[in-house]
C-alpha cells in the first residue's frame, strides 16, 4: 500500500465499524449521540429527533453503521434538509439526481434521501470490501469522488476535496464514537 493511503487510513478509520444489530441499551446510546450531533447544527427538537430516527431506521433496514451514516451526513449537509451543492447534489445525504434515480429514490424527499444515501454507501462498502484494511476508507472516498475514480487510482484519489472529505468523515465518526463511549 502506498504511504498516502496508509496515512489516510491511520488518520481516519483506525476503528472497528459496526455491522450487526444493537441491543436496546446500545440503541439508546446511538440515538443520543446522533441527536446531540444533529442538534449542534439544527436546534429544532422535532427535526433533530426525526433525523436521528430516520438514520437509525435506514441503518437497521440496510445494515449500515448508523454512526457512519451520520458522519457522512454531517460532512455532506450539516443536517440541512434543503442543502444543495454547486454541482447539483440534493438534501441531507447530498445525492446527485442521477444517483438517486439509479437507486430509485426521490432526493427531495428527506426520508428517501437518507435511504438513498444509505444504499449508496452500502453499495460502496460492498464494492470495496475485498480491498483489504482500507476498504471503508475507499468506500467513503467513492461516496465523494465516485467508485470509478477510486478504482482508477487504486484507492483514495489524490483530489484535495476527496482527501479532505475522507478526513472530515473520519473526524465526525470519531466524535460520534466519543459521545457513545462517554
Q: What pLDDT does residue 181 have? A: 84
Query: CB 37: neighbour CB atoms within 10 A?
Result: 24
Query: CB 143: neighbour CB atoms within 10 A?
Result: 27
Domains, in order of start, for the chain: 22-181 (1.10.530.10)
Question: Residues of the chain whose pLDDT is less than 70?
Answer: 1-28
Catalytic residues: 76
Q: What pLDDT does residue 165 have? A: 98
Q: What pLDDT does residue 29 have? A: 87
Provide the b/e sequence for 57-77 (b: ≥16 CB within 10 Å): ebbeeeebbbbbbbbbbbbbb
Contacts of residue 43, defined as CB under 8 A and 6 or more positions apart, other chains included, come to none
**pLDDT tens-place string over residues 52-69:** 999 999 999 999 999 999
Q: What pLDDT does residue 19 have? A: 35
**pLDDT tens-place string over residues 128-139:** 999 999 999 999
Amino acid at each position: 500500500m502506498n504511504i498516502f493511503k496508509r496515512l489516510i487510513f491511520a488518520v481516519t478509520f483506525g476503528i472497528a465499524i459496526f455491522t450487526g444489530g444493537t441491543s436496546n441499551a446500545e440503541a439508546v446510546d446511538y440515538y443520543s449521540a446522533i441527536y446531540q450531533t444533529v442538534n449542534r447544527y439544527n436546534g429544532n427538537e422535532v427535526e433533530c429527533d426525526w433525523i436521528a430516527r430516520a438514520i437509525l431506521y435506514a441503518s437497521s433496514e440496510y445494515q449500515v453503521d448508523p454512526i457512519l451514516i451520520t458522519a457522512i451526513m454531517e460532512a455532506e449537509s450539516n443536517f440541512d434538509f434543503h442543502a444543495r451543492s454547486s454541482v447539483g447534489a440534493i438534501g441531507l445525504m447530498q445525492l446527485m439526481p442521477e444517483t438517486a434515480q439509479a437507486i430509485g429514490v426521490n432526493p427531495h424527499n428527506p426520508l428517501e434521501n437518507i435511504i438513498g444515501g444509505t444504499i449508496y454507501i452500502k453499495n460502496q462498502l460492498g464494492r470495496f470490501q475485498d480491498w483489504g484494511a482500507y476498504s471503508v476508507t475507499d468506500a467513503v472516498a467513492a461516496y465523494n469522488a465516485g467508485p470509478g475514480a477510486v478504482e482508477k487510482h487504486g484507492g483514495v484519489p489524490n483530489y484535495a476535496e476527496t482527501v479532505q472529505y475522507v478526513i472530515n468523515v473520519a473526524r465526525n465518526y470519531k466524535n460520534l464514537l466519543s459521545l457513545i463511549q462517554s
